[in-house]
């Protein structure tokens, strides 16, 4: 009779090694990011006062168009646009693109800014759904509204890129709040290195709980609920650690669609945002990398930690799950669409590090981790695996997680200090520990669900219910 | 396998310990921060009082009563608000209190952001040793952003070394910063010839040459008209475009011929700037080549040409109307769009 027990142990060991190996790779990437991010912050310390920036860069700051796609944003749109018009930058225009909203978004804008129909010649460089009309405001020369048929966020952004005349444009979500000096800070790389810089991303921070008046964050406070608190730590990790590190070695793969600045000519050259994409921001940045490398041009895609865009984080598990599955589908879609770049020597560090990171963290990461939650304790209980395996897996999932999250908080406190009170730091430290016990696992389950939806070619965007940052709560 | 576990425990414990220290530091900062804000408020009150009573001794007492860093920070912003005698007296008080020495130390030992700020403060405080400190920083600072800031400060103090040397010290990598445009705009009128010489250098970075031409057009005017006319035919499209923009500001006896040639043979940015210059100078005799440009493959050129025609007044608008009612073509569409631009009827 054949003895299967040895084969079972061997199989379990191989599977465990795959799971632990993937976890080790992921942890190694995070620790590497931490080191590079700390170095980057020490080399490029932030300028504290925006008055200094204005004095320094005000005369040479290039014109910028702020593109704001709006879909069913009637609650906040007027106040959001008011706050954008009040940004501190010498030369900018705000172009709101009403993407066929079903609610009163356009009407609110027409009433709020006394809009009148306006003819403005523009370059039809990118394709998008038909524009129904352009509007300008007699109240301010800075504001234009594009009313177009519904085509999704990427389509609306493409329409905005066509209509804008500035050499740089900045995309921002209609329900987000830019800090008054955010444009000036984000434009800095375009001033210091105007020939090579083609895109710059800023930090997105969670505004839940903060005191907001007149479209401005007046007092930074932490959210009262645990779910947005977890996301505060998550965003710090994503922006202060991952993006800063990859930016330092010019391998930044994502400039957030919620706040990113781009050189128009290059975006037009790559065909703009990919319509119908789940991750149009990731897609655009990958296209830019590919285009610049194919044409053998020197370029920089940078992340600057100081310019801040405040956004509202989901407060319910249902909405957060939808957001995370969509993000996962977006990452997978881009990874497989541009898979020829993976480990392709032609694309240098972008092919190896950038795509390697997506492979380890977004493609394999959630699957191996969820498999690990189920299999490793089971194997250990059945006596197939030794305790050492269990401890190794536990450390990769929990203790290294604590270290990485707390270290991103250390970076924040050492260089930026945006949380006003010591108590906030203590709370966030506790949250950085707790999130590894439950929230992280839940997140991975949603990402596996995103994988499943991607395999089933589920293209639904999912409704993103928001209560509104600036307007009255629903 | 156990080492993975042990290392993880060590790293997470270490990170938590560091975070704890940072929290303690923050608690101490919060306590000190209140004091700092109070000191700043007191000093600003003294500065405002000085503008009313001009009591320099009282001001010096107030300056010495707060930490030097607070005095310099608050004073820098206040100084930039003042002009004339008040400004000079305030500078004297700051210098008598030895505050520029602190700024010089910051220029040597601070991080990059602090060093850039120190150059601005040294230029504002105008101390005796400011030029020496700045010249030394131009020689040895490792950051090109700092070196550019130093050059701007030296320019403000009237002590900028010859341009060729300054740019060599800034380094080639730094010669693509838009901050250099600011440096050139601040260039002393007596030294504009240096800018012209640099803009002539074929081997220099085109971006810098173009920036120099832009600055010459703004500050030097017609005096450099002949140079702009020659530079309009430069092999670098960036330089040629800048020269055409300059001609659009200053004008030139041969402007018509120069612009006509640029519209025919230049790159897209040259053609667009030639059209813009024609519109700015009101050269209505260029209506025909501008009408040709409205068929250009680049939208920017078509738009510039149509705008130039429109700026000619009735004659240009007549040309646009004729094109707009002609057969459907690229130029016909451009003309229609330009004529329709503005609030809808």
Residues A243-253 have a mean pLDDT of 94
Radius of gyration of chain B (CA): 29
Q: pLDDT-derived band of residue B38, with 50, 70 and 90 as boundaries? A: confident
B10 touches chain A (CB under 8 A): no
Residues A47-57 have a mean pLDDT of 81
Q: How many CB atoms lie within 10 A of CB B24?
A: 11
Q: Which sequence spans correspond to the domains of chain A?
A: 17-62+167-474
pLDDT reported for residue A203: 93
Task: Determine the distance in angstroms separating the CA of B246 from the nearest CA of chain A, rounded to an integer.
Answer: 17
Residues A413-429 have a mean pLDDT of 90
Q: pLDDT-derived band of residue A466, with 50, 70 and 90 as boundaries? A: low
Q: Is the CB of residue A94 less than 8 Å from the CB of residue A84?
A: yes
pLDDT above 70 covers a percentage of chain A that reads 95
Residues B198-215 have a mean pLDDT of 93
Residues B178-183 have a mean pLDDT of 92
Min mean pLDDT across A244-248, B264-268, B337-341 is at B264-268
B89: its two tokens: 């007296």
Task: Give CA torsion, residues A421, A423, A429, A432, to 10 deg.
Answer: -80
Task: Give CA torsion, residues A376, A380, A383, A386, to 10 deg.
Answer: 100
Q: Is the CB of residue A192 less than 8 Å from the CB of residue A299?
A: no
- Helix/strand/coil (H/E/C) assignment for every residue in B220-254: CHHHHHHHHHHHCCCCCHHHHHHHHHHHHHHCCCC
Question: What residue has token string 């005369």?
Answer: A59
Q: How far is CA B107 from CA A42, B68, B75, B96, B137, in A?
A: 17, 15, 17, 20, 8
Task: Determine the distance in angstroms separating the CA of A473 from the nearest CA of chain B, rounded to an integer.
Answer: 33
Task: Determine the distance in angstroms separating the CA of B7 from the nearest CA of chain A, rounded to an integer.
Answer: 9
pLDDT above 70 covers a percentage of chain B that reads 99
- Judge: B343–A116 Cβ closer than 8 Å, yes or no: yes
Closest-CA residue to A174 (of A115, A105, A107): A105
This model's pTM is above 0.95: no
pLDDT reported for residue B69: 84
pLDDT reported for residue B281: 95
Q: Is the pLDDT of residue A471 over 60?
A: no
Q: Is the pLDDT of residue B304 over 50?
A: yes
Composition of chain B by helix, strand, coil, percent to 5: 80, 0, 20
Higher pLDDT, A348 or B32: A348
Cβ-Cβ contacts under 8 Å, B117 against chain A: 47, 52
Residues A244-256 have a mean pLDDT of 94
Higher pLDDT, B58 or A43: B58
B310: its two tokens: 């429109």
Find residues 197-236 of chain B whose CB sits inside 8 Å of chain A.
207
Cβ-Cβ contacts under 8 Å, B114 against chain A: 45
A17 touches chain B (CB under 8 A): no
CA distance B298 to A294: 23
CA distance A295 to B61: 63
Residues A244-252 have a mean pLDDT of 94
Write out pLDDT tens, residues A341-356.
999 999 999 999 999 9
What are the φ/ψ torsions at residue A281 (nearest 5 degrees)? -75, -45
pLDDT reported for residue A474: 34
pLDDT reported for residue A472: 41
Which range is most confident: A261-265, A400-404, B73-77? A261-265
B288 touches chain A (CB under 8 A): no
User: B2 to chain A: nearest residue by CA?
Assistant: A388
CA distance B42 to B62: 8
CA distance B281 to A320: 59
Find residues 408-427 of chain A whose CB sits inside 8 Å of chain B.
409-410, 413-414, 417, 421-422, 425-426
- Judge: A403–B178 Cβ closer than 8 Å, yes or no: no
Write out pLDDT tens, residues B225-239.
999 999 999 999 999
What is the DSSP secondary structure assignment for residue A103, as one 8-state letter? Answer: S
- Judge: A396–B8 Cβ closer than 8 Å, yes or no: yes
pLDDT reported for residue A213: 86
Closest-CA residue to A70 (of A3, A7, A183, A150): A150
Find residues 152-191 of chain B whose CB sits inside 8 Å of chain A.
176-179, 181-182, 185
pLDDT reported for residue A48: 62
Q: ipTM score of the complex? A: 0.88
**If 0-12 CB within 10 Å is exposed, 13-18 middle and 19+ buried, where does residue A220 land?**
middle
- Helix/strand/coil (H/E/C) assignment for every residue in B4-61: HHHHHHHHHHHHHHHHHHHHHHHHHHHHHHHHHHHHHHHHHHHHHHHHHHCCHHHHHH
Higher pLDDT, A167 or A386: A167
CA distance A315 to A318: 9
Q: Is the CB of residue B23 less than 8 Å from the CB of residue A422?
A: yes
What are the φ/ψ torsions at residue B297 (nearest 5 degrees)? -70, -25
CA distance B42 to B36: 10
CA distance A198 to A212: 32
Q: Is the pLDDT of residue B325 over 70?
A: yes
Task: Determine the distance in angstroms separating the CA of A287 from the nearest CA of chain B, rounded to an integer.
Answer: 23
Distance of alpha carbon A110 from its chain centroid, rounded? Answer: 31
Q: How far is CA A71 from CA A68, A103, A116, B315, in A?
A: 10, 8, 20, 45
**CA atoms within 13 Å, Cβ hemisphere of B337:** 20
Q: Which sequence spans correspond to the domains of chain B?
A: 274-340
A107: its two tokens: 């009407």
Q: Is the CB of residue B215 less than 8 Å from the CB of residue B188?
A: no
CA distance A474 to A460: 25
Q: pLDDT-derived band of residue A459, with 50, 70 and 90 as boundaries? A: low
pLDDT reported for residue A463: 58
String of DSSP letters for A130-173:
PEEEEEEETTEEEEEEEEE----HHHHHHHHHHH--SSEEEEE-
Q: Is the pLDDT of residue B240 over 60?
A: yes
Find residues 184-213 of chain A whose CB sits inside 8 Å of chain B.
190-196
Q: Is the pLDDT of residue A397 over 90?
A: no
B303 touches chain A (CB under 8 A): yes
Write out pLDDT tens, residues B79-125.
888 888 888 888 889 888 988 888 999 899 888 888 999 999 999 88
A398: its two tokens: 């929990």
Q: Is the pLDDT of residue A473 over 50?
A: no
Q: Check the CA dihedral A236-A238-A243-A245 and report its sign.
A: positive
CA-based angle B189:B191:B196, to the nearest 5?
105
Min mean pLDDT across B74-78, B315-319, B338-342 is at B74-78
**If 0-12 CB within 10 Å is exposed, 13-18 middle and 19+ buried, where does residue A474 land?**
exposed
Question: What residue has token string 């906030």?
Answer: A424
Q: pLDDT-derived band of residue A410, with 50, 70 and 90 as boundaries? A: very high
B101-111: buried (b, 16+ CB within 10 Å) or exposed (e) per residue?
Answer: ebbbebbeebe
pLDDT reported for residue B37: 80
B98: its two tokens: 């030895």
Q: Is the CB of residue A133 less than 8 Å from the CB of residue A106?
A: no
What is the DSSP secondary structure assignment for residue B119, as one 8-state letter? Answer: H
Q: How many CB atoms lie within 10 A of CB B277?
A: 31
Task: Determine the distance in angstroms separating the CA of B144 from the nearest CA of chain A, rounded to an integer.
Answer: 10
Contacts of residue B142, Cβ cutoff 8 Å, sequence gap at least 6: none
User: B76 to chain A: nearest residue by CA?
Assistant: A52
CA distance B284 to B278: 8
- Judge: B113–A417 Cβ closer than 8 Å, yes or no: no
String of DSSP letters for A253-306:
----TTEEEEEHHHHHHTTSSPTT-TTHHHHHHHHHHHHHHHTT---EEEEEEE
Q: pLDDT-derived band of residue B20, with 50, 70 and 90 as boundaries? A: very high
């Amino acid at each position: 009779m054949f003895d299967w027990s040895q084969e079972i142990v061997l199989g379990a060991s191989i599977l465990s090694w795959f799971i632990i190996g993937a976890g080790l790779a992921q942890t190694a990437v995070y620790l590497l990011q931490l080191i590079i991010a700390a170095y980057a912050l020490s080399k490029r310390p932030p300028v504290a006062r925006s008055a200094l920036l204005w004095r320094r860069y005000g005369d040479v700051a290039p014109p910028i168009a702020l593109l704001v796609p709006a879909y069913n944003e009637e609650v906040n749109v007027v106040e959001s646009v008011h706050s954008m018009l009040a940004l501190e930058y010498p030369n900018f225009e705000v172009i709101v693109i009403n993407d066929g909203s079903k609610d009163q978004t356009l009407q609110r804008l027409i009433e709020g800014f006394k809009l009148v129909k306006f003819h403005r010649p523009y370059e039809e460089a990118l394709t998008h759904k038909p524009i129904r009309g352009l509007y300008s405001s007699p109240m301010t020369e800075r504001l234009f509204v594009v009313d177009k048929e519904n085509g999704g966020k990427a389509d609306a952004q493409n329409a905005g890129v066509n209509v804008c005349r500035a050499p740089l444009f900045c995309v921002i979500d209609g329900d987000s709040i830019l800090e008054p000096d955010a444009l000036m800070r984000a434009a800095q790389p375009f001033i210091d290195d105007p020939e090579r810089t083609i895109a710059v991303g800023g930090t997105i921070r969670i505004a839940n709980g903060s005191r907001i008046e007149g479209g401005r964050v007046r007092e930074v406070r932490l959210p009262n609920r645990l779910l947005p608190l977890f996301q505060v730590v998550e965003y710090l990790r994503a922006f202060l650690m991952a993006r800063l590190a990859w930016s330092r070695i010019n391998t930044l793969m994502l400039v957030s669609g919620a706040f990113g600045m781009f050189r128009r000519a290059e975006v037009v050259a790559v065909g703009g945002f990919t319509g119908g994409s789940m991750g149009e921001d990731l897609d655009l940045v990958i296209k830019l990398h590919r285009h610049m490398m194919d044409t053998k041009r020197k370029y920089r895609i940078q992340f600057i930690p100081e310019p801040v865009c405040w956004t509202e984080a989901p407060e319910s598990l249902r909405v957060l799950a939808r957001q995370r599955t969509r993000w996962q589908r977006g990452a997978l879609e881009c990874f497989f669409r541009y898979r020829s770049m993976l480990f392709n020597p032609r694309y240098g560090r972008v092919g190896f590090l950038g795509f390697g990171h997506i492979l380890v963290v977004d493609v394999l990461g959630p699957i191996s981790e969820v498999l690990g939650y189920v299999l490793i304790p089971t194997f250990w209980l059945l006596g197939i695996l030794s305790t050492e395996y269990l401890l190794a897996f536990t450390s990769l999932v929990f203790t290294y997680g604590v270290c990485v999250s707390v270290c991103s908080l250390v970076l924040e406190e050492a260089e930026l200090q945006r949380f006003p009170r010591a108590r906030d730091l203590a709370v966030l430290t506790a949250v950085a520990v707790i999130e590894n016990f439950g929230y992280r696992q839940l997140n991975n389950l949603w990402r596996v669900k995103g994988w499943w939806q991607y395999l089933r070619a589920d293209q639904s965007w999912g409704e993103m219910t928001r209560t509104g940052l600036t307007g009255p709560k629903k | 396998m156990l080492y993975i576990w042990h290392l993880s425990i060590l790293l997470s414990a270490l990170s938590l310990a560091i975070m704890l220290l940072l929290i303690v530091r923050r608690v101490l900062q919060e306590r000190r921060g209140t004091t700092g804000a109070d000191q700043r408020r007191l000093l600003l009150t003294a500065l405002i009082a000085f503008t009313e009573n001009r009591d320099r001794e009282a001001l010096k007492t107030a300056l010495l009563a707060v930490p030097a860093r607070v005095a310099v920070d608050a004073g820098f912003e206040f100084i930039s608000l003042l002009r004339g005698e008040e400004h000079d007296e305030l500078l004297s008080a700051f210098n008598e209190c030895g505050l520029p020495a602190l700024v010089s130390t910051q220029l040597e030992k601070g991080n990059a952001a602090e060093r850039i700020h120190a150059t601005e403060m040294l230029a504002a405080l105008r101390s005796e040793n400011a030029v020496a400190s700045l010249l030394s920083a131009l020689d040895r600072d490792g950051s090109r952003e700092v070196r550019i800031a130093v050059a701007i400060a030296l320019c403000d103090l009237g002590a900028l070394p010859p341009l060729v040397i300054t740019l060599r010290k800034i380094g080639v990598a730094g010669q693509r910063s838009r901050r250099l445009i600011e440096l050139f705009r601040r260039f002393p009128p007596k030294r504009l010839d240096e800018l012209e010489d640099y803009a002539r250098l074929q081997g220099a970075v085109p971006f810098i040459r173009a920036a120099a031409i832009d600055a010459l057009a703004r500050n030097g005017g017609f005096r450099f008209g002949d140079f702009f006319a020659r530079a309009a035919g430069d092999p670098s499209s960036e330089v040629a475009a800048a020269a055409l923009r300059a001609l659009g500001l200053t004008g030139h006896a041969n402007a018509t011929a120069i612009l006509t040639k640029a519209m025919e043979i230049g790159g897209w940015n040259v053609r667009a700037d030639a059209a813009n210059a024609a519109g700015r100078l009101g050269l209505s005799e260029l209506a025909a080549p501008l009408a040709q440009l409205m068929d250009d493959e680049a939208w920017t050129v078509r738009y510039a040409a149509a705008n130039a025609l429109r700026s000619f007044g009735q004659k240009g608008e007549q040309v646009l109307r004729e094109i707009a009612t002609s057969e459907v073509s690229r130029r016909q569409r451009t003309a229609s769009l330009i004529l329709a631009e503005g609030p809808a009827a």
